[in-house]
Structure 1
Amino acid sequence: MIEDFDVASDWHVASPYAFLARLRHERPVFASEHLGAYVLTRHADVRAAYGDPRRFSSKGSLTISRSLTRETRDKLGEHGSFLSSFVANVDPPDHTRLRRSVSRAFTPRAVSAMEETFRRLNEDLLDRIGPQGRADFVTEIGHEPSIKLTARFIGVPEEDEAFVQAHVKDWFQLFLSPQPPERQLELADSFLTYLAYVDRLVAARAERPRDDFTSLMTSLIGTELTHREVVELISTILLGGNDTVPNQLGNTVLRLLREKAWPVEPALLQNAAEECMRIDGASLGSFRYATTDVMLHGVTIPAGSLVLLSTDSAAHDETVFPEPERFVIDRPNADAHMVFGYGIHFCVGAALGRLQLRTALEVLGRRLPGLRLAPGQEIAYRRSIVGRGLPSLLVEW
């Protein structure tokens, strides 16, 4: 019997659902020695905690530097607390101010305008890849359009896209995935190089503004935002576009192919995307700190404790989603998952992420209706504390 979380093991990232179901039934407030955190697993409890920032604080919740060695922390210096002022890592009133600034770039009109650009990026990619008849979906298809869209949105020059992708991957591993001490030091070097790049980008846009997110945020330095806040906002949005959204697309395509639901009928695209996010979410949850003693289901979570809000478990809660392990393409409440968070920390880029997922599925389904998994491959997920993604997925058509 598995007694605790083990994010370094294959079973945990691939299929933790029997374990999570047991926690929901028997120990809904679970003290995980492995994570050094209490874990909330029921949908109602996760949702309530997201909606209660006074008792479950976001301040410092993304700063996973506690997993770093002293040598790595010394190398990082002040950047060991990276994301300390990112919008998802603070409480009101700072959160209110930051979110108001970021939201200026994510208006419904602005998001809608990006749809055609993203569709064209997918079409162009398939013009090049289509004649091959086979590819690694993750490395050759799933990531490029999202990376290019995000780069254009932020204002990253095309010639720097590969550099950004490589370094974003490194900082994800450094802060959000367990690494041995030697590898931590390598990743720390990469991370500092990346931060220096974003610093230069902000400085360049301050001197010569353009029509991009970096210029908009840079224009607010000194009035609404600090320089560090702008650097962290840019860095984290680049993570979403270079990593989280493409990972969700890979998880989604794998699910649809396994369920023999490919290609998806246009009328079902939106709901299919939501059901795939529910059952195979790229984001597994969020950390919080208890600001006071919290009594829940007979367990006291002491003030100052780290708490994991397991959206992965919540999305498989049988009291909300009947037969949660079954893929139901027209499930009526599929969008009740919390992959994008909930409450004041609901992801500001959620509308864009959803648009990208739907658009990619529409274009891929139309252009590659015969898409299928290549035989003989072993499908494995990368190991991470907070995310699920595939390093490789071989497909044919």
Structure 2
Amino acid sequence: MIDADDFDVSAAWHVAAPYDFLRRLRREQPVFRSEHLGAHVLTRYADVRAAYGDPKRFSSAGSLTISRSLSEETRLKLGEHGSFLSSFVANVDPPVHTRLRRSVSRAFTPRAVSAMQQRFRELNTDLLDRVAPRGEADFVAEIAHEPSAKLTARFIGVPEEDEEFVKHHVKDWFQLFLSPQPPDRQLVLAESFLAYLDYVDRLVASRARDPRDDFTSLMASLIGTELSHREVVELISTILLGGNDTVPNQLGNSVLRLLREGAWPVPPELTRNAVEECMRIDGASLGSFRYATADIELHGTTIPAGALCLLSTDSAAHDETVFDDPERFRIDRPNADAHMTLGYGIHFCVGAALGRLQLRTALDTLGERLPRLRLASGEPPSYRASIVGRGLTALPVEW
């Protein structure tokens, strides 16, 4: 029998290489309680998908509000913001979720997303014009983040002079809420988070007074009719996280995988599927939390009402009953897009189309400009500690 204590979310292997362990869990103990995580973990594809599709039994309400991992002193410092994200679209159930998603979706029409493709290509080209002559770079720090962060800033309406401020504080936000931190470090990160929240609050208020052609102005125009001021602030804050963190992390994971597999550069006709296979095998998201609303019997285990649950999309994406030979990278895998890295059901990521477009555009542009891209010799790549995310700390490359 597998010892559930082995599932240590503070260990480096939890992010870097959990797959042998997860394979044994799927086979022998598909639902188990992790003492390190304080949650029951669902590891099989069918169970994860079913839980995503059953918000009445697996509730999203409060699932992103993880102040339970913070010290008492940090919670006091955060005050009401210790429950930040309490009204974010991914953190609520219907009917509130239905109202929020309807409002947000207005900005993510296929036409609007497609219009951003050329701008994103230009941002990547501008960056490579500066970096390419050097012949080497840290892909994570110098290539992956800037175009995505700038595109997201433009979409949201963040002035160019504030982009570095947002990038710095978003990083601190992630560490505070989604990565294990010692109490002293929590207090420093909490101060940064409150400064970030104040910035977004002022941005929303400014656009409410003086609307422009950006997402913040669109959402601010709905305050008082469809949305509250707090809902708009949380929405803006979280989309900025995606552009400054999630998409760049997925790009870094994808480039590392493609280089290791000898699949660089990606043929343009395979880019779309390559993006899906990279998200499947090295997803930037490891899963989502839910709360059980009633006692749930699953594979001989009782998940008690009120228990926190982790839906492990990371494990589900390697489930051998769905993906043939799941540990093998197949750039032409026919069902690669069956992964749930972007969620599933009513909580499927509202920005998924934009994220996929960014990844495809980045891989195509990088492949054209840096066809001889390769990993630099030295220390093997390492991942940052995280409860629910996979991102590289650095990726030295040459060309």
Residue aligning to 1:167: 169
Deviations 1:110-155 (A, max 9, x none): 0000000000100111011110100000000000000000000000
> What is the Cα deviation at residue 4 of structure 1?
2.5
- AA aligned to 2:70 is L
**Corresponding residue to 2:109 among 100, 107, 113:** 107
Unpaired stretches in structure 2, ≥5 consecutive residues = none
Partner of 1:63: 65
**Cα deviation, residue 6, structure 1:** 1.3
Is 1:391 the equivalent of 2:389? no
Picking from 355, 358, 361, the partner of 2:360 is 358
Aligned equivalent of 1:336: 338
Question: In 1, Cα distance between the equivalents of 2:191 and 2:372?
Answer: 43
Report what 2:33 is aligned to.
Answer: 31
1:10 counterpart residue number: 12
2:125 aligns with 123
Q: Which amino acid aligns with 1:369?
A: P
Which residue of structure 2 lines up, in the alignment, with residue 376 of structure 1? 378
Percent identical across equivalent pairs?
A: 81
Query: 1:231 and 2:233 equivalent?
Result: yes
Alpha-carbon RMSD: 0.7
How many angstroms does 1:229 deviate by? 0.2
Name the counterpart of 1:189: 191
Structure 2 counterpart of 1:302, one-letter code: P
Q: What secondary structure, in the 3-state scheme, does the structure 1 residue paired with 2:302 have? A: strand
What do residues 302-321 of structure 1 show as CA deviations (whole Å, max 9, x unaligned)?
00000000000000000000
Q: CA deviation at 1:259?
A: 0.3
Q: Secondary structure at the match of 1:356?
A: helix
Matches of 2:250 and 2:72, distance apart in 1: 34
**Does the 8 Å contact 1:138/1:392 carry over to 2?**
yes
Amino acid at match of 2:363: L
Tell me the CA shift for residue 378 of structure 1: 2.5
Report the 3-state secondary structure (helix = DSSP H, G, I; strand = E; otherwise coil) of the residue aligned with 1:370: coil
2:162 corresponds to which letter in structure 1? D
Instruction: Give the corresponding residue for 1:180.
Output: 182
Alpha-carbon distance in 2 for matches of 1:376, 1:391? 14
User: What SS does the corresponding residue of 2:379 show, helix, strand or coil?
Assistant: coil
In the alignment, the residues of structure 1 paired with residue 254 and residue 309 of structure 2 have an alpha-carbon distance, to the nearest angstrom, of: 28
Task: Find the counterpart in structure 2 of residue 248 from structure 1.
Answer: 250
Aligned position for 1:87: 89
| 2:146 pairs with one of 139, 144, 147 | 144
CA shift at 1:377, angstroms? 2.4
Question: What is the one-letter code of the residue matched to 2:157?
Answer: G
- Distance in 1 of aligned mates of 2:303 and 2:272: 38
- SS of 1:386's equivalent? coil
Paired amino acid for 2:106: R
* Map of 1:76 onto structure 2: 78
Q: Report what 1:263 is aligned to.
A: 265
Aligned residues: 397
Structure 1 runs of 4+ off > 6 angstroms? none
> Normalising by structure 2, what TM-score?
0.99
8 Å contact kept, 1:24–1:42: yes
CA contact (8 A) 1:4 1:33 kept: no
Report the counterpart of residue 210 of structure 1 in structure 2: 212
Q: Paired residue for 1:276, among 269, 275, 278?
A: 278
Report deviation, 1:235. 0.3
Deviations along 1:141-192, one digit per CA (max 9) or x if unpaired, are 0000000000000000000000000000001110111100000000000000
Partner SS, residue 142 of structure 2: helix
Q: Which amino acid aligns with 2:333?
A: R
Question: In the alignment, residue 363 of structure 1 is paired with which amino acid?
Answer: T
- Determine the structure 2 residue equivalent to 1:323: 325
Would the aligned equivalents of 1:377 and 1:394 in 2 still touch at CA under 8 Å?
no
Gaps of 5+ in 1: none
